Amino acid sequence: KINIISPKRFFDKKVYTVGVDIDREFIRLVKTAKDSGGIPKLVDHKVIKYIQQPSSDLSGFNALLKSSLIAFCGSLASCNIWTKISANNVNVYFIKVPRVPKKQLENVIYWTAKKEGFIDETKSIFDFELQGEIVDQDKPKYSVMVYTAPKTSIEEIKTLYSNMGITLAGITTAPFAIQNIFRSKWIPVTEEIFASLFIGNNFSRIDLYKKENLV
């Protein structure tokens, strides 16, 4: 098959990717753009400190977030805007599935995760990533990372931005962002195993990476 690239690909207005990290006391904004080789490069970042608003009145915070984004982006139309959800709200599992034809793979992953009790469609959204081929008990299989996040948490984040007239390009979480740093070669993979320790106000987390994959 020959893929015909749509003309809009050549005139994509989304020049930048902007990440938004909202903390208890600050908003952190980060902007990247791809170089001529398609590698993302950091081009700008900013930290905006604020006094935490009562949960009953978010209008002041929303106005600050929107004005900060507009000032940082220059034009919202030129930016794909991403934010993150707390890793405390994301469940990550690892499963092994048989090697099957590509068109059957998604169903096999779904039903395997369902059988293990990892998925509840009424409460969570579900996605997965293939992490490679393995041999398990002399049988060829795929190693798969499966992850879920609460629908309510995702909708709250989407609503926060949509009320400002912003459509998010995506939502990620910190362990996946660190994984991307390894995969983009921003930090060279000099050892086979890495550990990342996070100590927060409400929870702590240890993430383990084997080469470029969260494991």
- pLDDT value at position 53? 60
Q: Is the pLDDT of residue 202 over 80?
A: yes
- 39 or 85, which is more confident? 85
- Burial status of residue 89 (CB atoms within 10 A of its CB: 0-12, 13-18, 19 or more): middle
Question: Within 10 Å of residue 138's Cβ, how many Cβ atoms?
Answer: 5
Question: Within 10 Å of residue 194's Cβ, how many Cβ atoms?
Answer: 19
Distance CA(181)–CA(177), nearest Å, equals 6
- 189 or 128, which is more confident? 128
Average pLDDT, the chain: 87
pLDDT mean over 92-108: 93
Nearest to 70 by CA among 59, 60, 81: 81
- Burial status of residue 90 (CB atoms within 10 A of its CB: 0-12, 13-18, 19 or more): buried
Considering just the CA atoms, what is the radius of gyration of the chain in Å?
20
CB 142 within 8 A of CB 133: yes
Regarding pTM above 0.95, the answer is: no
* 42 contact partners, CB below 8 Å, separation of at least 6: 30, 31, 32
- pLDDT value at position 189? 80
CB 133 within 8 A of CB 127: no
- DSSP state at residue 202: S
Distance CA(160)–CA(18), nearest Å, equals 16
Q: Is the pLDDT of residue 8 over 60?
A: no
